[in-house]
Amino acid sequence: MFAVEGISSGTYRYDAIRHGLVPVEADLSRGQLERLTHDQRFFTASGFGVVTTAQTERMAWKYPHPRAYRLMFHNVGHMVQVFSMTACALGLGAAITGAFRDSETEEVLGIAGTSEIPTFFLAAGIPKRNNDGLPLSIRIHGAATTH
């Protein structure tokens, strides 16, 4: 978390039993997140970032056949789409990427191995907008923009 009202800046993990955020020791900076995502600039000004992981052993238990792997990524895709739609509904800009440094991400998250794997990096925040209401990064051909 970088700039979320009501939540202290820091790094958290989701606790499914408590259905809430729990602080973790490793505090990831914007720079570290940028490095992990090959400097895609998602975290330079975002309000918060999320790293999703999948627990392969849980999926294998739930679906004890080869289809488990496919269903795991199918579920990840649904979750990422819901993140994007929810951000949009809240007036936030969202950025999503599956391009990240796998081994370094696993090391930073403390999940090296095969029982839990990182799947996506997500970021959201309040976008800076042009006078027409569109984010600064959006340009409509022939339209004048002023900041």
> How far is CA 116 from each of CA 9, 40, 59, 91, rounded to the nearest angstrom?
25, 24, 10, 32
* 5 vs 14: CA distance, rounded Å: 18
pTM value surpassing 0.85: no
* 17 vs 27: CA distance, rounded Å: 22
Q: Taking 70 as the threshold, does the pLDDT of residue 72 lie above it?
A: yes
End-to-end Cα spacing for the chain: 28
Please say whether the beta carbons of 121 and 37 come within 8 A.
Answer: yes
Task: Please name which of 16, 47, 43 lies closest in space to residue 31, comparing C-alpha atoms.
Answer: 43
Q: Taking 60 as the threshold, does the pLDDT of residue 134 lie above it?
A: yes
* 77 vs 99: CA distance, rounded Å: 14
Q: CB neighbours (10 Å) of residue 93?
A: 21
Q: Where are the alpha helices (DSSP H) in the chain?
A: 30-36, 56-62, 67-89, 102-109
Q: Taking 70 as the threshold, does the pLDDT of residue 21 lie above it?
A: yes
Q: Taking 80 as the threshold, does the pLDDT of residue 76 lie above it?
A: yes
pLDDT tens-place string over residues 59-70: 888 888 888 888
Q: Taking 60 as the threshold, does the pLDDT of residue 115 lie above it?
A: yes
pLDDT averaged over every residue in the chain: 84
